[in-house]
DNA sequence: CTGTTAGCGCATTCAC
DNA sequence: GTGAATGCGCTAACAG
């Protein structure tokens, strides 16, 4: 915003019409004569007029901006997500505020507040770890549509878009079965979360369909972390009839499982098949990557944005939960029908 | 912006003071009585008042928002860059509009225009390929500070922050020379860009200093892409006295060169030394990473943001060109004095 | 079809 | 210290 900014009144003056007429051509209204419209447009070009959206927004009490906050833009999963959002947001004529929280919940609170002050008309958030329903409360109470992606936040009355955990688990199991595995473990995760319930359910059903035993010792819960993965595989290997493969609650657990296997002098992929779950992509390059149940981050971003725009246009906000389909990404098969492991490929 | 939004006048009414008083406490002015200030703050909290920045911006003819447009957010180099920008922008009390152009120049024009309409007080842009000085002209003419990063755009009177291409090339050559190489090629890139000129210049000078021949067939241009790299190495290996090492225009080319070498039954790093240039980090994990001339993208982002904020605060815009230092990152030496290759480590 | 009038929510003079 | 006016640039009603 420069000093000598030219305004509607200037161009109205120069074109010999009134401001409202100018306003009308600005909005592409058909209520204005073709001749005057041309005249006005010409003057607009000549004077180098730029539309002031702040003023318009103030007047209309609505903005054409949506906010997106992600927990870790450094992680290419979320960068892709942001790109997906950007694509549909841009083509809908919106611009996006983007903020990175770096898993810092205070920062998240700040940026959300800031965005609110700026009058965003909607928010897409991939919440930082530990986000609670209360953190989004003020936003949703003021009627601003919010879409939570990737991680759902229990108790919040907002729309969310998460991956198809059930189908993902099932696909992983079917894959392992097709490789000849019969003792397939499910490792990691806390049983008291919705995500866990969905994943374990998909696992159980697929096992059952394959005529395999899914109960008992094959399911070993743990913290959904790398350390948890180590603990889980150690426990699982104490079973009399050891598993030969494992579906892990998420990638972090999978990496821990690999760590644990190596401690046991077993090579992941050769001696034991490990499948990860793309909930949290962690340290992609620091460990040998594996076959995973993957989601399409950019597609998720697009879908989230579409959902948000729908709600913005609808005026009415109804919490809605969408499920994003997943696909099994097999990295590299290493013979012997015993699992697979390979290099991670960035989508 | 909801329907029943509470405004300063509401809280003034409820607190029994005037709007201006409220405005003053909002700005933390010391011209207001402690008691009334407390009272006002209490009412603000109670009524759930949210500050309307659009209105404030309109009044003050300035905003607290900066724009950042990148050519490819999918590329983690630029994602990191955006994170760096975000960090300093946030702590300076600004919010950022982020847009991804995907190298699409029309899109870039659109988003820049949109940001202008929104009254950004500054712009950081990593321009799409083919961006011309004219594309930024309207912005700079209206006095809005612009900082161009990564790629400079010739002829534009804006500040820019680029990496030290000259020194980077030289360092790479010296490194290869110290490993015993004497036939060192420069592969990839289009000769008609400023970046190419700088890199080739650093290469030539370093070669000369080492008493080596840098002319003739050792310089092979190509598209700055993976495919271009394949073509370049194939052509380079047709020379009578083959090179034993190559400095590549960028990482994409370097990866292509590795591909090409393997086709020729040569193992990059063992049989032929390859050094990349961190212009575009591509598919970090999909290929064996190599020694590169690296910049710190996040650091560049921070620096760009600082430069921009300085200019915003200074009021006066003076085009300034900053050079970001680079460092040679040697991944792993693999004996025989013939190059080196290793795992890429994310910063 | 076009002009007139009246604010949107805030910050900035000035008086008091 | 505080209150009363005034205007930022624009759009939404009506008039004409």
Q: What is the 3-state secondary structure (H, E, C) of chain B?
A: CCCCCCCHHHHHHHHCCCHHHHHHHHCCCCCCCHHHHHHHHHHHHHHCCCCCHHHHHHHHCCCCEEEEEECCCCCHHHHHHHHHHHHHHHHCCCEEEEEECCCCHHHHHHHHHHHHHCCCCEEEECCCCCCCHHHHHHHHHCCCCEEEECCCCCCCCCEEEEECHHHHHHHHHHHHHHCCCCCEEEECECCCCHHHHHHHHHHHHHHHHCCCCCCHHHEECECCCHHHHHHHHHHHCCCCCCCCEEEECCHHHHHHHHHHHHHCCCCECCCEEEEEECCCCCCCCCCCCEEEEECCHHHHHHHHHHHHHHHHHHCCCCCCEEEECCEEECCCECCCCCCEECCCCCC
Terminal CA-CA length for chain B: 41
Show the beta-strand stretches assigned E in A167-265.
184-187, 219-220, 245-248
CB of A50 under 7 A from strand C? no
Query: Which residues in chain A have their CB less than 8 angstroms from residue B65's CB?
Result: 97, 118
User: How far lies B33's CA from each of A28, B16, B79, in Å?
Assistant: 50, 14, 47
Determine the nucleotide nearest to A18 by Cα–C1' distance: C3
Residue B189 Cα to chain centre, angstroms: 19
Residue B171 (CA) to nucleotide D14 (C1'), in angstroms, measures: 73
Q: Cβ of B61: how many Cβ atoms within 10 Å?
A: 13
**pLDDT tens per residue, range A153-202:** 888 999 999 999 999 999 999 999 988 899 999 999 999 887 899 999 99
CB of A43 under 7 A from strand C? no
Residue B323, Cβ density class (10 Å: 0-12 exposed, 13-18 middle, ≥19 buried): middle
Residue A70 Cα to chain centre, angstroms: 8
Residue B2 lies in a domain: no
Please report where in the chains the tokens 């090339």 appear, as a residue.
B169
Nearest C-alpha in B relative to A110: B90
Q: Are residues A178 and A280 in the same domain?
A: yes
Q: Are residues A223 and A334 in the same domain?
A: yes
Q: Are B273 and B245 in contact (CB under 8 A)?
A: yes
**pLDDT tens per residue, range B185-207:** 999 999 988 889 999 999 999 99
Backbone phi and psi for residue A108, each to the nearest 5 degrees, phi listed first:
-60, -45
Backbone phi and psi for residue B283, each to the nearest 5 degrees, phi listed first:
50, 50
Q: Cβ of A47: how many Cβ atoms within 10 Å?
A: 14
Pairing type for strands B146-149 and B159-163 reads parallel
Pairwise CB contact (< 8 Å): B90 & A111: yes
Residue A3 lies in a domain: no
Of A306-310, A337-341, B139-143, B144-148, give the lowest mean pLDDT range: A337-341
Residue A211 DSSP one-character state: T
Last-in-domain residue among B17, B40, B58:
B58
Whether the model clears a pTM of 0.75, i.e. scores above it, the answer is yes
Residue A2 lies in a domain: no
Q: Are residues A138 and A40 in the same domain?
A: no
A216 has a chain B CB within 8 A of its CB: no
Query: Which residues in chain A have their CB less than 8 angstroms from residue B138's CB?
Result: 48, 50
Which residue range(s) make up the domain with B169? 165-295+328-345
Greatest extent of chain A over all pairs of C-alpha atoms, in Å? 91
Which residue from B107, B161, B162 is spatially nearest to B135, judged by alpha carbons?
A: B107
Residue B125 lies in a domain: yes
Pairing type for strands A291-295 and A326-329 reads antiparallel
pLDDT confidence of residue B259: 86
Last-in-domain residue among A58, A82, A99:
A58
Q: Domain holding B340: CATH number?
A: 3.40.50.2300
Instruction: Taking residues B132-137, report their average pLDDT.
Output: 94
Which residue from B161, B156, B61, B60 is spatially nearest to B112, judged by alpha carbons?
A: B156
pLDDT confidence of residue B192: 83
Query: Which residues in chain A have their CB less than 8 angstroms from residue B62's CB?
Result: 1
DSSP output for A92-109: TT-EEEEEE-TT-HHHHH
Q: Are residues B137 and B219 in the same domain?
A: no
Residue B179 lies in a domain: yes
Residue B192 lies in a domain: yes
Cα separation of A10 and A49, whole Å?
9
pLDDT confidence of residue A280: 53
β-sheet bridge partners, residue B341: B290
Cα separation of A273 and A245, whole Å?
4
Please report where in the chains the tokens 């085009």 appear, as a residue.
B319
Query: Which residues in chain B have their CB less than 8 angstroms from residue A114's CB?
Result: 95
Residue nearest to nucleotide D7 (CA to C1'): B59
Q: Are residues A176 and A290 in the same domain?
A: yes
Residue A56 (CA) to nucleotide D12 (C1'), in angstroms, measures: 12
**pLDDT tens per residue, range A46-88:** 999 999 999 999 999 899 999 999 998 987 778 999 999 999 9
Q: Are residues A23 and A98 in the same domain?
A: no
DSSP-based three-state secondary structure for A70: strand
Pairing type for strands B291-294 and A245-248 reads unpaired
Tokens of B116: 């202008």
Using a 7 Å cut-off to protein CB atoms, list the covered nucleotides of chain C: 1-13
Residue A216 DSSP one-character state: G
**pLDDT tens per residue, range A211-267:** 998 877 999 999 988 899 999 999 999 999 999 999 999 887 888 898 899 899 987
Q: Are A307 and A322 in contact (CB under 8 A)?
A: yes
Q: Are residues B208 and B335 in the same domain?
A: yes
Please report where in the chains the tokens 């009524």 appear, as a residue.
B47
**Angle of the B194-209 helix axis to the B165-178 helix axis, nearest 10:** 40
Q: Are residues A139 and A281 in the same domain?
A: no
pLDDT(A337) > 60: no
Pairing type for strands A123-125 and A146-149 reads parallel
Cα separation of A248 and A203, whole Å?
10
Query: Which residues in chain A have their CB less than 8 angstroms from residue B108's CB?
Result: none
pLDDT confidence of residue B280: 52
Cα separation of B34 and B21, whole Å?
12
Positive/negative CA dihedral, A175, A179, A185, A187: negative
Q: Are residues A179 and A218 in the same domain?
A: yes
pLDDT confidence of residue B179: 85
Q: Are residues B158 and B169 in the same domain?
A: no
**pLDDT tens per residue, range B265-320:** 987 877 888 898 875 554 343 344 467 888 888 999 999 999 999 999 997 778 99
B89 has a chain A CB within 8 A of its CB: no
pLDDT(B16) > 70: yes
Tokens of A72: 């870790």
Query: Total structural domains in chain A?
Result: 3
Residue B118 lies in a domain: yes
Determine the nucleotide nearest to A7 by Cα–C1' distance: D9
A136 pLDDT band, cuts 50/70/90, is very high
The residues of B between 83 and 112 with beta carbon within 7 Å of nucleic strand D are none
pLDDT confidence of residue B22: 92
Residue A212 (CA) to nucleotide C10 (C1'), in angstroms, measures: 68
Query: Which residues in chain B have their CB less than 8 angstroms from residue A103's CB?
Result: none
Query: How many Cα atoms sit within 13 Å of A267 on the Cβ side?
Result: 7
Q: Are residues A209 and A290 in the same domain?
A: yes
Pairwise CB contact (< 8 Å): A52 & B5: no
Terminal CA-CA length for chain A: 40
Cα separation of B173 and B207, whole Å?
7
B43 pLDDT band, cuts 50/70/90, is very high
Q: Domain holding B38: CATH number?
A: 1.10.260.40
A31 pLDDT band, cuts 50/70/90, is confident
Q: Cβ of A59: how many Cβ atoms within 10 Å?
A: 11
Tokens of A62: 């609505």
The residues of B between 5 and 64 with beta carbon within 7 Å of nucleic strand D are 16-21, 24, 31-33, 35-37, 55, 58-59, 61
pLDDT confidence of residue B173: 95
Nearest C-alpha in B relative to A107: B90
Residue B69 lies in a domain: yes
pLDDT(A131) > 70: yes
β-sheet bridge partners, residue A269: none
pLDDT over 70, % of chain A: 90
Residues 1-60, chain B: which have Cβ within 8 Å of A? Answer: 1-3, 5, 48, 50-55, 57-58
Backbone phi and psi for residue B160, each to the nearest 5 degrees, phi listed first:
-140, 155
DSSP-based three-state secondary structure for A64: coil
**pLDDT tens per residue, range A282-327:** 434 334 447 788 888 899 999 999 999 999 999 777 899 999 988 8
Residue B24 (CA) to nucleotide D2 (C1'), in angstroms, measures: 11
Q: Are residues A217 and A78 in the same domain?
A: no
B328 pLDDT band, cuts 50/70/90, is confident
């Amino acid at each position: 915003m420069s000093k000598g900014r030219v305004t509607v009144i200037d161009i109205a003056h120069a074109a010999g019409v009134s401001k409202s007429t100018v306003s009308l051509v600005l909005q592409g209204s058909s209520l204005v004569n073709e001749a005057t419209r041309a005249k006005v447009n010409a003057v607009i070009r000549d004077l180098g007029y730029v539309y002031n959206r702040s003023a318009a927004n103030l007047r209309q009490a609505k903005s054409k901006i949506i906010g997106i906050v992600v927990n870790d833009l450094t992680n290419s999963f979320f960068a892709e997500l942001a790109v997906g959002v950007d694509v549909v947001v841009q083509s809908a004529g919106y611009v996006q505020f983007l903020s990175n929280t770096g898993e810092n919940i205070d920062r998240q609170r700040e940026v959300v507040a800031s965005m609110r002050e700026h009058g965003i008309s909607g928010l897409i958030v991939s919440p930082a770890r530990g986000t609670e329903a209360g953190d989004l409360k003020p936003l949703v109470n003021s009627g601003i549509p919010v879409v939570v992606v990737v991680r759902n936040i229990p108790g919040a009355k907002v729309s969310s878009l998460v991956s198809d955990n059930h189908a993902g688990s099932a696909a992983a199991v079917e894959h392992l079965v097709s490789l000849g595995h019969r003792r397939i473990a499910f490792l990691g995760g806390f049983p008291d979360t919705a995500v866990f319930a969905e994943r374990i359910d998909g696992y159980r059903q697929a096992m059952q369909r394959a005529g395999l035993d899914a109960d008992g010792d094959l399911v070993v819960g743990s913290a959904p972390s790398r350390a948890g993965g180590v603990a889980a595989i150690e426990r699982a290997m104490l079973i009399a009839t050891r598993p030969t493969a494992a579906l892990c609650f998420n990638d972090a657990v999978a990496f821990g499982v690999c760590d644990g296997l190596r401690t046991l002098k077993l090579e992941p992929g050769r001696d034991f098949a490990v499948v990860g779950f793309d909930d949290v992509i962690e340290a992609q390059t620091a460990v040998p990557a594996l076959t995973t149940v993957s989601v399409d981050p950019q597609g998720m971003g697009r879908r989230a944005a579409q959902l948000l725009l729908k709600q913005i246009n609808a005026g009415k906000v109804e919490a809605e939960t969408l499920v994003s389909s997943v696909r099994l990404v097999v990295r590299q098969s290493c013979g012997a029908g015993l699992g697979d492991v390979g290099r991670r490929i960035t989508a």
